[in-house]
Homo-oligomer: A and B are copies of this chain.
Amino acid sequence: MKKVDFTKLTKENILSLQAYEAKEIPCRVKLDANESPYSPVADKNIPLKKKIFSILNRYPDPEARELKKVVAGYFKINPDNILFGNGSDELIYYLIVTFGGPVLYPIPTFSMYGIISSALGEMNIAVPLNESFDIDTGKMLAAVREYNPKLVFLSSPNNPTGNCFSYDGIIKIIEASNGIVVVDEAYLPFSKRKSFIPLLKDYKNLAILRTFSKIGLAALRAGFLIGDRDLIKEVNKVRLPYNLNALSQIIASDVLKDKRVIQSNIKSIVSERKKLFRELSNINGVKPYESEANFILFRVDNADIVFSKLLKLGVLVRNMNGVIKDALRVTIGTPEENNSFIKALQKAIRRHQ
């Protein structure tokens, strides 16, 4: 047997990494992953099913032209300003392969910015959010001056805190940066704030990330980058030609053609979020944070214990303790799921007290 020492073969920045563990925990009510509780595709959509099964043996359109056209129409932008990824995760990968580091982001935020940057051997600069979970503009600007980051990632609304960052703060960071500032608008559909897309005409170093994952199509792995066509052109060079599978292209195109279903689902989720916030506020020992996303972050004494008790009652939320002390994050589900969650939480806290 030929012996190989993989610790000597593997690149040093990889060796020290841990694989990202996305554990699947069985449960009755799944409110941990910021998925939509609703699918925007009608089960009776026979032509769509037929179309999907008729092209299984063919490679996908490498340029996803049909989907690009539909997305361009939806956002009233040019198709040349769009690049699709196998989830926005893949676009973060490509952005870092294209421009390199240092990579700057506030913390806590979406963990993939730092994970991918480390996998690619780039330097991470993480600047803590202030006490109200907003970006600390002064510290961010100081980091921009000191490290001259090639990429800045700003998730707004931010995951896991749920709030949008200061508009003026983001603008200042874009203006101060020589590198690319990526505003990740994964959760913007659930917020009343304006998109940064119209600002693309003012700032060539601005790029926007969007995803189909939160509006009911997480299974597809479809995200997209919107940016200057010169930026898209460079990032496109490191893209795998068939990175967006054919089924996802077809389903996503179909769903975007009728805005009403998506918009009505979003409306339900936002109205449930308001209800859930009130209910959480009314539970003794629970402190929810205002959210503009499809989840709510809340604090509770002994979060680890409450998390386990919720799970025993069949409700899975995300335990953020470790990232934010004694914090849990609950995804907005259907009215029934949210009721189950509230009842389980009341029990979990009563038992604990």
> Do A2 and B217 form a contact, CB below 8 Å, given A10-B234, A53-B39, A59-B35?
no
Q: Is A174 interfacial (CB-CB < 8 Å)?
A: yes
Let me know if B230 and A6 touch, CB within 8 A.
yes
Interface: A87 (CB within 8 A)? yes
Contact status A56-B219, CB under 8 Å? yes
Q: Judge whether A203 is part of the interface by a CB distance below 8 angstroms.
A: yes
With a CB–CB cut-off of 8 A, which chain B residues contact A40?
Answer: 56-57
Per-residue contact bits, chain A 37-57, to B (CB 8 Å; 1 contact, 0 not): 111110101000110111111
| A1 contacts B by Cβ under 8 Å | yes
Q: How many A residues have CB within 8 A of the partner chain?
A: 91
For A215, the closest partner residue in chain B by CB is B57
Residues of A135-179 whose CB lies within 8 A of B:
150, 174-175, 178-179
Q: Given B178, B180, B216, which contacts A56 in the complex, CB threshold below 8 Å? A: B216
Whether a CB of chain B sits under 8 angstroms from the CB of A301 is: no
In the assembled complex, the Cα of A33 lies from the Cα of B116 at a distance in Å of 32
Q: A36-B57, A53-B43 are in contact. Are A205 and B86 (CB under 8 A)?
A: no
- Within 8 Å by CB of A238, from B56, B100, B119, lies B119
Kindly state the separation between the CA atoms of A90 and B40 in the bound complex, as whole angstroms: 29
- Asked if A179 contacts B9 (CB within 8 A), the reply is yes
Interface residues of A (CB under 8 A from B): 1-4, 6, 9-11, 14-15, 17-20, 22, 24, 30, 33, 35-41, 43, 45, 49-50, 52-63, 86-87, 89-90, 93, 97-100, 112, 116, 119-120, 150, 174-175, 178-180, 201-205, 213, 216-221, 228, 230-231, 233-234, 236-248, 251
